[in-house]
Structure 1
Amino acid sequence: MKVSIITVVFNGAEFVRDCIESVLSQTYTDIEYIIVDGKSTDGTVAIVQSYGTRIARFISEPDKGLYDAMNKGIQLATGDVIGLLNADDFYRHDRVIENMVATFERTDSDAVYGDMLYVDRTDTKKLKRYWRSGWYSENAFLWGWMPGHLSFFAKRWMYLQYGLFRLDMKSAADYELMLRFIHKHKAKLAYMDEVTIVMRVGGISNSSLQNRLRANREDQLAWQLNDLKPYMFTFWLKPLRKIKQYITKPPEVHIK
C-alpha cells in the first residue's frame, strides 16, 4: 500500500525540518512525500531542497491559502492513501504510518484516524490539549463529533470521487470535507487508539467569541452545502466537546 503524505508550508523555516524528519524517519518505506510551498521567502525552500530526492515532489508557487495548497498536493498524489501533515507539526513516533497501514489492512476501511496532542510552540514537552477522537458511531456528527483532521488518513479514491477541500470555506473546510466523506457518503472508518500527531499551538483559532460565531456559521454552511439536516444543538455541541480536550490527560506518551 503506497502512502502519500502532503505537507503545505509558507515561511515555515523555524519548524519545517522537524516535520520533514518525522516523515522521513518512518519505519514504513512505501511513502511518497509531497511538499507544497506558497513561495516562501524565509529559507524554507532551501531547507526542503537540501533533502534532494528524499522529497518525491516539491513545488513552490503562490497559492490561495492553506486549503488550496492542500488541494494541489492531493492532485499530485499517486498513493493509495493520503495523509496531511502541516509544517509546524510532526508524527509522535516513527511507526505511525506503519500502524496506520496495518489498521487499513486489518479493517478494510476507507479512512483511518487517531488522536492528537497540542503542545507549546517552542517547548514541545509542555502539553496544552489532548484530542482523543474516540470510536465512531453512525450519526456521531449530529452530536458534535469529528476526528482531528491531521490524524485523518483517507483512500485517494475518496478525494477523486467525492471532491477536494472547498475554497469557499475558511476555518471549517476540513470539517466540511470530513462531514462529506463520513456522514454523507458513509465512509467505513477505523480508529487508531493512540496519539499519532503532535501539533504546535497556533494557526486559526476559535477561542474568541467572534471567531467561534464565525466558525458556527461555517459549520452550518457545511451542512447546507451537503443537503444535510443537523439537530438544533449540533453546532453548539461541537465546541462544547473541545472543553474536555483541555482537562483530559493523555496516557503517558513520549514525544520525540
Structure 2
Amino acid sequence: MLRSEIVSLPRISIVTPSYNQAAYLERAIGSVLDQNYPALEYLVLDGGSTDGSAEIIRRHAARLAFSRSSPDGGQAAAIGEGFSRASGEILAWLNSDDYFEPGALHAVGEAFAREPDADIVYGDLRWVDDRGARLFTAHLVLDLRVLAYESPYVAQPAMFWRRSIYQKAGGLDPAYRFAMDFDLVVRMLLAGARPRKLRRVLTNFRVHEAAKSSTLREVCDAEVARTIERHGLASGGKAAREAKKWLARGYRFLRDPRCIVSALESRLR
C-alpha cells in the first residue's frame, strides 16, 4: 500500500466493554492491537471485574487511548462512555469475548476512504465456540425490510459506522441491557444511514454454551420486540407480527442466543 493511501485512512475508535471476561479478554485486546492499523484509537472500559481482567488491561495500558476498571452502569453505559471519550471518525465496539480477524480494520478503513458516502461498513460474522473453533459464518444483509419482515438480527460485532450517523441517530440508549445494538442500528437506518457490505469475515463471535439462559433470552426478546414496536417497523411485517405475539402472550420470536452471549459483560452489573 502506498504511503499516501495509509495517510488517507480514517481514524477508527474501538471500544471494548468488559466485566469478568478474563478468560477471553487477552485475545480480544490482542486482536485489536495486532491489526497494526495506523489510525487506531482503542479504549477498554471494565466494570470493576474481580477475575484478573484489570491486570490484563494494565499490561496493555501503554497502547490504549483510555482504560479504566471501576463499577459502571452496565454494558450500554460503558460503550456510550467510550464513544463520548473517543475522537475517531469511525466508531465500533468489540465485546471482550469476541475478536477481529487479521486485516479487518484495514479493510474497513479502506472501504470508508474509498466510499465517502457510506455511513456504515459491515462484513460477515463467524460464530466460534468457547475455544475458538469455527461453528458457521453468518452472511447477513443490513436492510430495514429484512429486519422488519424476516429476521430482527444485526451483526454488530462486524459493523462500523461514522460518528456523524451515530450522533444523528441519538447514540446508544442506556435503557437497554441486551438489544442496544439492534435498537441503535434500526435508528441509524431510519436516520438515512447508507450501508456498504464487505464480502469477508471481519469478526469472530464467541458462543458460550453456559450463557444460554432462558431468563436472559426472554429479557432480550422483550427488548427487540419493544424496539420493533417503538419504531413502527412494518406493522404488517413478520417481525412486527411476532413482536406483538410476544408482547401479548410471552411468545419468544428471537431464538438466536446472540442477545445473551453478546451481553455477558452486563449480566451481573
| TM-score range normalised by the length of the shorter chain | 0.7 to 0.9
Match of 2:266 in 1: none
Corresponding residue number in structure 1 for 2:173: 166
TM-score by length of 1: 0.82
- Unmatched 5+ residue regions in structure 2? 1-9, 244-252, 258-269
Moved more, 7-16 or 164-173: 164-173
- Per the alignment, residue 57 of structure 2 pairs with 48
- Give the Cα separation in 1 of the matches to 2:106 and 2:15: 17
User: Which residue is equivalent to 1:105?
Assistant: 113
Q: Helix, strand or coil for the counterpart of 1:198?
A: strand
Tell me what 1:38 maps to.
47
Native 8 Å contact 1:114 1:147 kept in 2: no
Helix, strand or coil: the match of 2:108?
A: helix
CA distance 1:216–1:120, shift in 2 (3 Å):
closer
**Cα distance in 2 for residues equivalent to 1:82 and 1:9:** 17
Instruction: Report the CA distance between 1:133 and its aligned residue.
Output: 1.2
Amino acid at match of 2:139: R
What's the CA shift for 1:190? 0.3
Cα distance in 2 between the residues matched to 1:181 and 1:203: 31
Alignment RMSD: 2.5
1:107-142 alpha-carbon deviations (Å, 9 max, x no partner): 2200111111121102x1x223321114x4563322
Give, in angstroms, the shift of residue 203 of structure 1: 8.6
Number of equivalent positions? 236
Measure, in 2, the Cα distance between the counterparts of 1:212 and 1:6: 25
Distance 1:205 1:178, change over 3 A: farther
Provide, for residues 40-93 of structure 1, a one-character-per-residue CA deviation record: whole Å limited to 9, x for no partner. Answer: 122211211112320111122211221111111111111000011111111121
CA-CA distance at 1:227 after TM superposition: 4.6
User: TM-score, normalised on structure 2?
Assistant: 0.78
| SS across alignment from 1:28 | coil
Q: Which residue of 1 aligns with 2:261?
A: none
- CA offset digits 1:193-249 (Å, max 9, x no partner): 1111112212996785x6655444322311333354433412549747x69xxxxxx
Match of 2:125 among 110, 116, 121: 116
Distance in 1 separating the partners of 2:104 and 2:136: 20
| Counterpart for residue 198 of structure 1 | 204
User: Does the 8 A contact of 1:34 with 1:57 survive in 2?
Assistant: yes
Between structures 1 and 2, the one with greater helix share: 2
User: Structure 1 residue 28: deviation in Å?
Assistant: 1.7
- Report whether the alignment pairs 1:218 with 2:223: yes
Superposition deviation, residue 97 in structure 1: 0.4
Measure the CA separation in 1 of the matches of 2:216 and 2:150.
17
Residue 170 of structure 1: how far off its partner (Å)? 2.8
Taking every aligned residue pair, what percent have the same amino acid on both sides?
25
Distance in 2 between residues matched to 1:207 and 1:73, nearest whole Å? 28
Q: Structure 1: where are the runs of 5+ without partners?
A: 244-256
Task: Give yes or no for contact 1:37–1:59 (8 Å, CA) kept in 2.
Answer: yes
* Contact preservation (8 Å) 1:113, 1:147: no
Corresponding residue to 1:132 among 125, 139, 149? 139
